[in-house]
Amino acid sequence: MINHYFCTYRCANLVFWVKDLRSFHLVYGAMDILTVAWSWFVKRTEQAYVFGRPTKSYVCIFIAFLATSFLFINLTFNSNRQHQLNPTPPQEPQEPKGTRRYDHPLSILITAHRDESVKLISKQSQTLDQAVTEYRRRHGIDPPPHYDKWYSFMRDNAIPLVDEYDQINHDLRPFWGLSPAALRSSVSAALGAEDFLIGVFIRGGHVKSVEGGALDRGAEWRRNAIKSAIDPFAYLLPDMDLAFNMHDEPRVIIPYDQLAQLLEHSRLNHNAHVSTRDTWSPAPVELNDSHIKPQSYTPFMDYAHYFTWPVATLSCPPDSPARLLTLDGTNVADVQDAFTDVLRFVSNRTAFTDVCLSPSFKDIHGFFNKPNAWDTTHNPIPIFSPSKISSLHDILFPAPWYLAEKVTYDSSKDIEWHEKHNVLYWRGSTTSGYSSGGTWRNQSRQRFVEATEKPGTGLIYHQTDTNDWAVLPVDSQEYHSLFDVHFSSIGQCSDTDCADQSRYFDVRPQDPYDQNWQHKLLLDIDGNAFSGRFYTFLQSRSLTLKQALYREWHEDRIRPWVHYIPLGLNGSDWLEIVRFVTEDEGGQRLAQEIAEESRDWAAKSLRRVDLQAWMFRLLLEYARLVDDHRGELGFR
């Protein structure tokens, strides 16, 4: 059977011919038609051979599918080629609004994402009825009970992007494949294992108790942050138990075969959903208690300080690039290689952080090269985590680090853009994972600092005599002065590896946090998981350059190329991006504009009430998920 990821990979290669993204999506759709047709034909043929020879009708229907699909592809290609080769009348290629044909590729990319962001904001629902209609269109069922109360909270607090909560439904979708009783039982078992989880027990419209999480490891402030975020709307929630992850690293990875079954059951449950009431069911009898019940076993396995790639990709399809090998035993190329040039700008953050499409990640990120801690489970347990990589199945929520405002921004200590140093600045520790046996060379923070401290050959864009853009190899030592990126501490390593890193890197003293605001460009980069500096960087008058594999709750709200500049993991784009925004006149102007836009947007969308709005909606959705009569529940 042709797999969805196989189609993605092959279609990506077709982009070189069809040239534009619209045609790519059309071809992708055509390939999906072929996939469905072929799968159906194979299944029918196998069944027919069990009971006799395949009938003519099977063959005829398959041929019709095939012919239709090829006709669709042919029309797509011909239409695209006629537009490119025989335009009537002659006209310039369509560029994003506000760009010229020979603008720098980064300028074109930024303008395109800005236009997309403006469209997203302009099409948001303006009334409750519109929001309900849009919810049904996106998710195929009615919103959860008390959706109107959540909508009022949104409007009362002027929270933007009313409709952009798809991440919640995406995270919960696999768990719709299990019964509510099974989900409640799995949460109870996980909390009882006392494996670095915080249990939140809601009873009678209140957060009755918060337990677990190891008090000696910072649990108390996390408990308080979570409780205070839920308290304002707890009166609208039914009795339920919640499990919050205290580890930096995410916890849940469901193997592919099991995930496929869960998603199919989820689809069937959604299709059977018919809303008849807008009130929660009575509390299940097992929720009479409101404390953690100790268990004799743990569903978690400890992979700390191990090479985790084979485990972290278990949810990927068997024939996805992450799990395929070439004949010589090496991994296949990343899918992104097929539709980007050698600089590999992060044109689509979702695609560029998809673990299943990116075999190269196993050699360049610390999560796959001995994470400092990783207690994971293959059981479908609904656990709330602050961040995760694409192949894991934790449920994202605003990190307690943000809720507790552990790092704050003081605008009185910031300075104007023109007064800042025109360099990229970062100070931090070697917390990309645990290092032994030299694995620090394959961890993201060490790779970035090495590239800036030990210059070699870099890549930049060069404009030719014909005004086209070509990639030019250069000695990156020429641009060394644009980087002030150094470690301030060495840790999470064996004695030998700590000593090796101390000798190899130019370790500097830790600067006061407010020192960040003296620089135009600030680097935000993954540590053991998400980086807790991100929000303060966005609030400042500086521009954030962010390298991250981990995804957070705000992915649809804080947009790359609009509010920050994304950096790829492999490093091919780092030099050109920094050069462009520090030395190119147009790049300097765009850098200041993005810094100003991020500051303005953060003031509107990263307030405490914005985080609470996400928690409010998330827990309404989760409450329906674990309700024994969820198939009848919905706001109408």
pLDDT in tens, 411-431: 999 999 999 999 999 999 999
484 occurs within a structural domain: no
Same domain, 81 and 173: no
Residue 341 — pLDDT band, cuts 50, 70, 90?
A: confident
Same domain, 285 and 173: yes
Residue 57 — pLDDT band, cuts 50, 70, 90?
A: low
Final residue of a structural domain among 56, 85, 114: 85
Same domain, 374 and 279: yes
Same domain, 57 and 182: no
518 occurs within a structural domain: no
Same domain, 390 and 253: yes
Same domain, 255 and 377: yes
What does DSSP say about strands 565-566 and 197-203: parallel, antiparallel, or unpaired? Answer: unpaired
Final residue of a structural domain among 85, 103, 129: 85
556 occurs within a structural domain: no
Same domain, 76 and 182: no
Q: Please state, as a whole number, how many other Cβ atoms lie within 10 Å of the Cβ of residue 310.
A: 12
Task: Mention every residue, 6+ apart, whose C-beta is less than 8 A from residue 498.
Answer: 435, 490, 491
Residue 337 — pLDDT band, cuts 50, 70, 90?
A: confident
Can you tell me the mean pLDDT for 519-541?
97
270 occurs within a structural domain: yes
- The CA-based angle 465-584-422, given to 5 degrees, is 155
What's the number of domains the chain is made of?
2
Residue 249 confidence (pLDDT) above 50: yes
Residue 338 — pLDDT band, cuts 50, 70, 90?
A: confident
265 occurs within a structural domain: yes
Higher pLDDT, 334 or 19: 334
pLDDT of residue 219: 85
Final residue of a structural domain among 52, 85, 118: 85
Residue 40 — pLDDT band, cuts 50, 70, 90?
A: very low
pLDDT of residue 65: 53
Same domain, 77 and 174: no
pLDDT of residue 80: 39
Same domain, 62 and 189: no
For residue 591 the two structure tokens come to 């850098």
* Averaged pLDDT of the chain: 87
459 occurs within a structural domain: no
42 occurs within a structural domain: yes
For residue 395, give the H/E element and its range. strand 395-396
- Find the range with the poorest average confidence among 23-32, 278-287, 550-559, 618-627: 23-32
Residue 42 confidence (pLDDT) above 50: no
Residue 594 confidence (pLDDT) above 50: yes
Same domain, 45 and 181: no
Can you tell me the mean pLDDT for 265-293?
90
Same domain, 267 and 391: yes
295 occurs within a structural domain: yes
Nearest by Cα to 608 from 153, 148, 250, 217:
153
Same domain, 188 and 69: no
The whole domain housing 19 covers 4-85
